[in-house]
Structures are given as C-alpha cells and as structure tokens.
Amino acid sequence: MANSNNPQIEPLSRTQILVFMGITAIVLLAIAKIWQRLGAIQLLPIQFSTQALLWSLGLTLGITIASSIIYRLWPAYRRSADVYLELVVKPLMWTDLIWLGLLPGLSEELLFRGVMLPALGLNLTAVLLSSLLFGVLHLSGNSQWPYVVWAAVIGFALGYCALITGNLVVPVVAHIITNLISSFLWKINHRQQEATSNFDE
C-alpha cells in the first residue's frame, strides 16, 4: 500500500531501510574510492582539532535553525520533508538513528566533499556542482523537489565550509550530527502527534 501523502512511494520495513542505507553507503564509498584512484585525486585532508569541532558544531547549529525556519515557513518543503522522513525514519528504532547519522554522513561526505570537490577544482564552481548532485541524490519521487532544493542548499553549506577550512572533518561531523538531530526531533514530534491523536479518540 502506498504512502497516503505520496502515492508513488511504497512504505518500507525497518530491515529494508537499514539494508538500503548500508548498500547505498557501500556504493557511494566504492564510487569515491574508484574515482579517487582513477583520477589520482588527493582526498580533502582529514584533520581532527578543536577548531574543526567548533566549525562543525556551528555549521550544525546553523543548518538546524535554518531547517526549522524553512519547515515552518514553506508548506511545500514541510510536506516534502514529512514524506521523506516518514519513509526513512518512521520504521526505524531509536538506536537505528545512529546508523542514519553515520552511514550517510561518512559515505556522502567522502564522495561529495572529499573526492568530488578536489576533482572538480576545489573552488566555488565545484561547490555548486557537487551541491546540485547532492540534492539530486535525495530525490525520492516527483513531488519531492522541495526536499531536493533544501538538500542542495545544505550541500552548498557543507561544501563551502569544507572549501574554506580545507578539512573534511568539518562537513562529516556536521552531517552526522545534523542527521541525528533532525531524525530524533522528527521521531519525538511524530510520537507526540500519535499520542495526541490516540488520546482524542
């Protein structure tokens, strides 16, 4: 049976979501490593430091606040995000959300920021192109274009911070924490809505 909000998307089970995330992460990592090897591309540096952590936390805070504002002010994005999050987050258990943070955060950042940015020239044009491709990666149906637009904006923020810091740790940590925060908040909100609707009945 199709999702009532988007008839094009069939609901998935917890196992299907976890397997899909795992396979997607492996495919993206494989593409990144093959591209890096064939193109003799030097990976964006990975440097753990207090400064990198502060950059990551600041970026996470900015994305989270902006996402909350956009969610409230743009109804098309709100519907699109709810469909996407219901499809991906709803079937998962609370502990599974760790994988939702780690797998995309590591694999997508390695490909889109770690390899693609240096391959495309490590400049603003590279950030724009990688951001657009990052947005398209999040397309899950014809009506999901607002979510794709927002993902491209997030991709630009992650890419630009990677560009100016020269450190892959910044977007990786920000991506992981942002995914964790958004999925936890959505799950908490969804549980409260279900409790309210059950109480009303």
DSSP of 140-186, one letter per residue?
-SGGGHHHHHHHHHHHHHHHHHHHHHT-THHHHHHHHHHHHHHHHHH
Handedness of CA 102, 107, 112, 115 (dihedral sign): positive
Kindly report, residue by residue over 76-94, the tens digit of the pLDDT: 999 888 888 888 898 999 9
Say if residues 55 and 161 touch (Cβ distance below 8 Å): yes
pLDDT digits (tens, 9 = 90+) for 136-149: 988 877 778 898 99
Q: Do 75 and 130 touch, CB atoms closer than 8 A?
A: no
Please, what sign has the CA dihedral across residues 198, 92, 14, 89? positive
In angstroms, the first-to-last Cα distance of the chain is 24
pLDDT for res 200: 54
**pTM of the predicted structure, to 2 decimals:** 0.87
What pLDDT, on a 0 to 100 scale, did the predictor assign at position 4?
Answer: 41
Distance CA 107, CA 176 (A): 11
| Local structure of residue 44 (DSSP, 8 states) | P
Each residue's pLDDT tens digit, 110-160: 999 999 999 999 999 999 999 999 999 888 777 788 989 999 999 999 999
pLDDT at 2: 39
Which one is predicted more confidently, 39 or 139? Answer: 39
CB-CB contact of 27 with 35 (8 Å): no
Higher per-residue pLDDT: 194 or 151: 151
